[in-house]
Each structure stands twice: as structure tokens, then as C-alpha cells.
Amino acid sequence: MIESIGMKLLYFDYCALVILIALLFTTILRGLTKGRLNSCFINLIALSIVSTFADIASVALDGIPTVPLALRYCANTLYLVSHNMATPLYVIYLMILTDTDYRLKKLNYVLFVTPFLVIGTVAVINFFTGWLFYFDENFSYTRGPIFPILYASAFIYVIAILYLTFRYGMSLGWRTLIAISSLIPFMLSAVLLQFFNQSLLVEMFANAMSLFLCAALINRPEDILDTETGLSNKRACTQGLTRCMKNGKPLELILINITNYSFIESIVGYKGMVRILHRISSRITNANRANKYFSELYYVGNGQFCLEMDFRKFDKTTYIAHFINDILIPPIDYNNMELNLNAVTCVARCPEDIDDAESLLAFLNDLGRTFYTGQVLFASEIYSGNHYNLVRQIDAIIENALNNKAFEVYYQPIYSIREDRFNSAEALIRLHDETFGNISPEFFIPAAEKSGAIHRIGSYVLEEVCSFIKSPEFEALNVDYIEVNISAAQCMRHDLYKEILGIMRKHGVDHHRINLEITETATVFSQESLTDNMRKLESRGIGFSLDDFGTGYSNMDRVANMNFDIIKLDKSFVNVQRNIRRDIVLDNTVNMIKSLGMKIVVEGVETAEILQRFADLKCDYIQGFFFSQPLPKEEFITYIFAHNKAR
């Protein structure tokens, strides 16, 4: 064993070698091989192995006088060059990490590689000049006159490392920041130690330890890899995009959304879906490879991919988007099935089209709702920044509106055909925002359901309606009851009935004055608590309407077995082009509902013709723009007063 030759201690180098080899293996075995950051990291480890090995070899050869001089020169030169290359490579690693590598173009690039090129040249001519090092008459290694330029070159790169760490470190998260900033004191002390005590070879050990820290703290696969596809995951994508946008790095992206993902998964199951996702991702990566383009592919989840191009050339990106779009068209063969992927591809430029990561991912998700045409889409044409600003702010807007009582309740008259009067009305909530104008309940109700604000909204609407019912104006209107919407999320609260009864009691409202509207979807997804709440409220005389009947989940058996007083035919069911078969379905649906003893409200009636058709079918009530839009309370009072009186 060579341990100390010419007083040089090799223990640290041996340790470094063991650590580095272990690091190389574990990095590969953990699957951290894809993407620019991982490749750069592997190169760093490999380079460190080479220089540690060269360090050991040159010291070892130093002690054997019979070794030819050329071989010694080679070992020492290899060590110096490879060791010196590690610093610029580390700078590149940091640049990739901070997404600033795009700045390394032309002039910057020349500046960047110059110090290293100088070292390389000096190292080569050193064979003849001995400027860096030479072997004296006793064959022992001696530093040459310009040896310090090695330090000078390293110093330039250290400045770059310091700059990147301080300028962008904060955007990387504390774990990464610790890893990269601990590196500087680490390496610096090793270099100083070795400078003053040349027998203590600790530089390679310090280098190995820094790489170990990076591996442990930065390249954590559990953080950045999707376990199923092995691709970078949503978290990596969000962090990467956020960083780019913060650091001003312009991007070109191809967004891919498999719009029928849930459908395919429902057929092939979870495991089958994983296999299909593998095939999709290899189709995409092969497309890239075929075009000799390098880029980062993220799997965001739910059949959504984001491909970050390594360049900014709109034509090229568009070309690749078409290429990928085309290769995703042929069906995937799976267990003798031919599965068509309805993959929507969309080209997006950041920051021109989309300038924040959160909106970008929301947009990618919403692509799932676009109608699949097989065409490549462009964010510049379909992305509305205003909409996604609203998406991001909606929770705060709702909270604000609740606190400042900015919601309003409108009423839409419902006309009874038999009695020829407006016998009821539907309470519909309205939200006006200073920045965004009128915000549709179709948009903010689902958001409120997600955030939980729906419970407060529900109580607010019921309070408003109850106080209206108890007002003297209402008494004079000859309106029997008000329909109040209850959302699916509200139905999932087991004590909803208490809340409703409590509010009605507080205002002293008769139970038959309120009819609660529940959508078909709610009846499917919240059965237990819903039926329980319904039973308790019904037993106290509160009526129920089934809202949006005919919009998808209709299951006549379930509907028949729930105690609805009224079925509301959805407007999409009402406003369709008539044909013989549709007429048969509609006639029979109406008859069936009537035979079950339930009344029918026809929603969305906009013309006299449609009104006549449903009157002929002996439907009970009509709601729609034909009579009136939803109206603010005062206007509603005026409208009903005039009409109910006049008849």
C-alpha cells in the first residue's frame, strides 16, 4: 500500500475515491440520470474520480525512480487539468440549477471558457517548458514559476459560484441553498490547507464531500421524480418554471394534455395506465431524439406533460409540437384494444404568453376541457391572463365579499302555467368585483366548494331569502315559495339541516316557503349525508327540487326513490334541435315524472315556441329569459307586482 510517499498523505484521497465511486453508483441506481442537471452532476462525479485517481497515481509514481518521466508528466498533467475543470463544471451545474445557463451564449461563453483554455494550453506546453511543474534532478515533483495561475483561474470561477449562490440561491429552497453554500467554505479551507501544507492532500476529499452533500440535499428523487414514469414530476416542474420566471429566463414549452386520461384509466386500471404513460413518454422523448433536440420532459400528473425546450426558436418549437401531436394520434395497442389518446398539444412562450408558473399549470390542466380536434393549439391565441389572475385570486375575492357583504341575491320568476301567475322564484347569487366585474356563480361556486367558503355563502343566501320572505313587500306579491340552491359540498355536512332550520327559525319563516334545489350530481356523490339531511328537513315540511335534470347522471331508479317535489328539466335538455326520437324521449320523460307524482319546472325557456311546446306537454312551471332574467330584489318586486296583479 502506498500511504505516504515523499511525506504526502494519501488517506484522504483513498476515502475520496471510495465516496465518489459509491456516489456514482447510487446516483445511477436511483435513476437520477435524465435531464441536464443530472447529466451534469454525473459528469462532475466522473471528473472527480478521474482527478482523484490521477492524484493518487502521480504521488505513487513519484516514489518509484524507475518510472519513465513521460508517464509522471502525464499523471500530473491529468490531475491538474481534470481538477481544474471541476470548477467551471461546477459553475455550469449551478447555472442549470438556477436556470441561468441560457445566458451562456457567444461572448459570455468565450469569457467563460477562456481561463480553462489557458490552463489547458499551459498544461500541454508544460511538457516542454516546465512552467507549471517539473521534475528536478532527483526526479521529485517541483512547482514551476507560473503554478499560481491555477489558483487564479479557479478564483475566477469561484467568483462566479459566489455570484450565483448569492444572487439566485434564495430561489432554490433552503435545502439546496445549504448544499451549495456549504461548499464554498468547505473547498476554500481544503485549498488553503493544501496550499500551506503540501503533504496534506485534502482537496479531493473536500470535493467528494461537497458532491455528497449535493447528492443528499439537491438531487433527491423523491422530491423531483414521478415514481411511476421516472420523469421529473409536478413539483420539479413548478419549481423549475417558477425559478425561470423569477430569474427572467425566457422559455418555450410544449404542453400536452391527454384529455381522455380518466376514461382510459377507468378501462385499463391504474397499473395499465402506468404502462400506457410509459409508452406516451417514450413517444415524446423519441420524437425529440429523432429531431436531435434536447429538452426536459415533466410529467405533471393526470395525463399532463410539459416539455421545456432547450432553446428559443419558435419555428422549431412549433415544428416539434406538430411532430409530437402527429405521433400521439395513432392508437396505442393495449391488451388487444386500440386506445385513442385525445392528446391536445399547445405551444406556449414565457413570459410573452404566460408569465407565471401557477397559471401555466392551471392552463395545462384546463386544456383537458378543450374539445379535441387534433390540431396544435397556441397559448398566444387561447390563453387569457385575466382569467387565470381571477383563478388565483378567487378565494381572496370570495373571502372579501363575505366579509364586506358584497354578494347580492337576485330572483328569477317562475311561472305557473295552470295558475297563470308567478308562483315562485329561484334565488341566484351574484358577485361583482371592482377589478373583474361580474363573476359568474358557475365559476365562483365550484371555487367556494373547494375552499369551504360555500358553507358561509349558503347561509348568507338563505338569510337573505328568509329576510325577504318576512318582509311586507313579499307578502303582497302572491308568491308561494322561493327556490334556494344547495351545493353538493353543503350536502356533505351532516348537520346542514340544523343550520337551515336554525336560520328559518331565526326569521320565523314557514317551512313550506322554501324549496331547496339539489343537483343531480349532488345526489350521486353525497348519498348518505344527503338523504339524512333531506329526511330531517322533509319531515319538517321543507320541499325539494331536483336541479339540472338530464345533464348526465340521471338514474331514474334513484330519482324515483328520493322524495323530490319538483324536477327541474335542465336548459340543455330544453334548447335542443327537435327530432322525432328526441321528442319521444322528452314526452316519455315528462310522463314518467308526472306519473311519479312530481311537478316539473322547465328551465331556460327563451321563446314563446318552447313555452308552448312544454305547455302542450302539461309541464307545470316555466323559468327562463322568455319571462325574465334573474332580477335584483327591488326590480323583482316591481316585476311580480305588475304581472301577478295584472292577470
Residues that bind ligand C2E (CB under 6 A): 412, 427-429, 440-442, 445, 461, 485, 487, 547-548, 571, 603-606, 623-625, 630
Q: Helices in 306-410 by DSSP H: which ranges?
A: 314-327, 357-366, 379-382, 385-403
DSSP 472-531: HHHHTTT--EEEEEE-HHHHT-TTHHHHHHHHHHHHT--GGGEEEEEEHHHHHH-HHHHH
What does 442 interact with, of Ca ion, ligand C2E, none (CB < 5 to 8 A by kind)?
ligand C2E
Least distance in angstroms from the C-beta of 556 to Ca ion = 18
Give the β-pairing of 407-416 and 376-378. unpaired
| Nearest-angstrom CA–CA distance, 454 and 487 | 8
Q: Does 520 bind Ca ion (CB under 5 A)?
A: no
What does 462 interact with, of Ca ion, ligand C2E, none (CB < 5 to 8 A by kind)?
none
Among positions 558-617, residues that touch Ca ion (CB under 5 A) are 603
Contact 508, 481 (CB under 8 A): no
Sign of the Cα pseudo-torsion (76, 77, 80, 82, in order)? negative
Q: Which amino acid appears at position 552 of this protein?
A: G
What does 83 interact with, of ligand C2E, Ca ion, none (CB < 5 to 8 A by kind)?
none
Number of C-beta neighbours around residue 134 at 10 A: 17
Which of 485, 490, 533, 628 binds Ca ion (CB under 5 A)? It is 485
Least distance in angstroms from the C-beta of 417 to ligand C2E = 16
Q: Does 517 bind Ca ion (CB under 5 A)?
A: yes
Least distance in angstroms from the C-beta of 426 to Ca ion = 6
| Nearest-angstrom CA–CA distance, 277 and 334 | 12
| Nearest-angstrom CA–CA distance, 165 and 179 | 10
Least distance in angstroms from the C-beta of 492 to ligand C2E = 13
Which of residues 356 and 603 has its CB atom nearest to ligand C2E in the complex? 603
Which of residues 58 and 487 has its CB atom nearest to ligand C2E in the complex? 487
Which of residues 246 and 613 has its CB atom nearest to ligand C2E in the complex? 613
Task: State the cell numbers at 114.
Answer: 477562456
Task: State the cell numbers at 398.
Answer: 370570495
Contact 545, 568 (CB under 8 A): yes
Which of residues 538 and 603 has its CB atom nearest to ligand C2E in the complex? 603
Least distance in angstroms from the C-beta of 614 to ligand C2E = 12
Contact 88, 116 (CB under 8 A): yes
- Which of the stretches 333-341, 480-488, 529-537, 635-643 binds Ca ion when contact is defined by CB under 5 A? 480-488
What does 429 interact with, of ligand C2E, Ca ion, none (CB < 5 to 8 A by kind)?
ligand C2E
Which of residues 35 and 630 has its CB atom nearest to Ca ion in the complex? 630
Q: Does 548 bind Ca ion (CB under 5 A)?
A: yes
Least distance in angstroms from the C-beta of 635 to Ca ion = 20
| Nearest-angstrom CA–CA distance, 572 and 603 | 9
Which of residues 10 and 414 has its CB atom nearest to Ca ion in the complex? 414
Contact 303, 261 (CB under 8 A): yes
The DSSP call for residue 103 is: G
What does 35 interact with, of Ca ion, ligand C2E, none (CB < 5 to 8 A by kind)?
none
What does 428 interact with, of Ca ion, ligand C2E, none (CB < 5 to 8 A by kind)?
ligand C2E
- CA-CA distances (angstroms) from residue 87 to 116, 183, 188, 455, 506? 9, 12, 12, 58, 74
Least distance in angstroms from the C-beta of 573 to Ca ion = 10
What does 176 interact with, of ligand C2E, Ca ion, none (CB < 5 to 8 A by kind)?
none
- Which of the stretches 160-168, 304-312, 415-423, 548-556 binds Ca ion when contact is defined by CB under 5 A? 548-556
Least distance in angstroms from the C-beta of 547 to Ca ion = 4
Residue 282: closest CA among 330, 320, 319, 327: 327
Beta bridge partners of 339: 332
Least distance in angstroms from the C-beta of 411 to Ca ion = 12
Which of residues 51 and 424 has its CB atom nearest to Ca ion in the complex? 424
Least distance in angstroms from the C-beta of 295 to ligand C2E = 42
What does 243 interact with, of Ca ion, ligand C2E, none (CB < 5 to 8 A by kind)?
none
Query: Phi, psi at residue 398, to the nearest 5°?
Result: -65, -45
Q: Which amino acid appears at position 339 of this protein?
A: L
| Nearest-angstrom CA–CA distance, 92 and 86 | 10
Which of residues 93 and 549 has its CB atom nearest to ligand C2E in the complex? 549
Residue 425: closest CA among 621, 157, 170, 201: 621
Footprint on this chain of Ca ion (rule: CB under 5 A): 485, 517, 547-548, 603
